[in-house]
Amino acid sequence: MANATAHRQRRTWASHLCGQSVLLEKVTSLAADTAVVGVRVFGDIPFYIAG
């Protein structure tokens, strides 16, 4: 009985870990997109100033 409980907890932990990695992937992807947009925007600013 205790063994079954341990197995269930392990499975829950595994799915939680999997969910975390998916979330991390989304956040990383979003951060990368934001960085790209930021570089484009801030990269253009000196040209506007230099005009």
Q: What is the 3-state secondary structure (H, E, C) of 6-27?
A: HHHHHHHHHHHHHHHHHHHHHH
**Residue, of 51 and 25, whose pLDDT is higher:** 25
Does residue 6 lie within any of the structural domains? Answer: no
Distances in whole angstroms, Cα of residue 49 to Cα of each of 1, 22, 46: 72, 41, 5
Does residue 12 lie within any of the structural domains? Answer: no
CA 46, distance to chain mean position in Å, is 31
Place of tokens 């040209």: 47
Over the chain, what is the mean pLDDT? Answer: 81
pLDDT score recorded for residue 29:
93
Domain that holds residue 50: 20-51
- Which tens digit of pLDDT belongs to each residue from 37-46? 988 888 887 7
Distances in whole angstroms, Cα of residue 38 to Cα of each of 7, 10, 35, 48: 46, 41, 5, 15
Residues in the chain: 51
Does residue 43 lie within any of the structural domains? Answer: yes
Average pLDDT over residues 10-22: 79
